[in-house]
Structure 1
Amino acid sequence: MSCQVSDEPWPHGDETEGGRASLLLASGWSEVAPGVWERKRGDAGTERVGFGAEGFEYALEQARLRSGVIRSDLARAGASATLVQQLRENDELIVFLEDSLERLWESEVAATSSKPDDDAQTEGSTSGSVCNGVYTFDVSFSLGFGSSSVTSQALWGEPGPLAPYQKILHSYAYAAYTDGQGLHEDKDSDLYGPFSSLCCAATQASAAAASPTPTLYGSNYLAVTEGCSAARFYEASYP
């Protein structure tokens, strides 16, 4: 059985914060933090979308909390290759978010002083148009009797003439299950950039669990800086 992202779109239309809020509310989203919205997916999972620096700040806070939990687990369990790898990948995500936020705050003044704020746009489905290009985020779950998996994919496409804005893509996937022998985990991440003046780019991460009742999680991030300020993230979890 294959489960895709929700068929309900991210709304198009009014570019103001108030307009975005009313459209998101109308599509079943609830605001859980400044710049961050959440709703249930049709496959019994949960999805969350974040806009701008506020969205990335929320994602950074969550990543730091996960790092603290992993370090506590390491302190109790002692040397664990699985936990060490999990901590390393989570720390890589923290560095990516910290660097992206620094770039965003540095570029925001230049961007807003020279042209309208493209980051105020809203998108539909798992795709959107920002900073002269189009991004697509996807997190899909595949649930089976023998195994289950999650795949996260982020795509960037840009028509000519190509803009000089700096862009970074990041995808992450996590799968886990528990049996009589303990916790089993699988993780993957992919980062591309910074890149500019490029027609297209992609990142993809996949993880699998040998169980029909797994814990699955996937996330995708886009940060645009250097003349245009935009940040987006999309994440989904099961169950």
Structure 2
Amino acid sequence: MPSIKACLFDLDGVIVDTAKYHYLAWRELANDLGFDISLEQNERLKGISRMESLEIILSIGGVVLTEEEKLARAAEKNRRYLELCKQMTPGDTLPGVRRFMEELKSNRILLGLGSASKNATVILNSIDMLHYFDTIVDGNRLTRGKPDPQVFQLGAEDLGVGAEHCAVFEDAVAGIQSAKAAGMFAIGVGAPSVLTEADLVIPGFETFSYTDLH
């Protein structure tokens, strides 16, 4: 395997667990429309865009909205989600992540963020991790969502590193597919039974180090 010169990280579920805040905000929206969504149904929303998520929720509730209403509902969900995210602190960072990134930095590995979230900068500021990243590719720059490779391709371009020298850390199936489509080494963070297409799967960063990467 070629040497790793850059590591690209997804945000939600890899660096910080914002899934609970997404769920609370989406559930409030669903309740307002007269139905409920379960945690299991919420799993279907991982790693996809806000409007795609809204379409899935509306189909769960059997609710039909005009395009104008959809945009208004999506904006309201995002406003509520941001309110929740601003309450986050550095203590909300997932275990081992900060130590692992510091290790990468001291070994001159470039770091990039690749996330569909349009709120990545707000979240990274809240948890005091913005300074770790050499580039941020978020939903504000993307025209195509995961599993399209665009997010990681842009990250590698920004860093000036070839795809074969990039490792991607992802917790969602669509994200692993995106990394593989970009020609990168895909490391799944989560369950091997779910992230079957990853080159390597780790439970988290508590026991994973720079040495393991090589």
Report TM bin, short chain.
under 0.3
> TM-score, normalised to structure 2's length?
0.26
Larger radius of gyration: 1
Q: Which is helix-richer, 1 or 2?
A: 2
Q: Which is strand-richer, 1 or 2?
A: 1
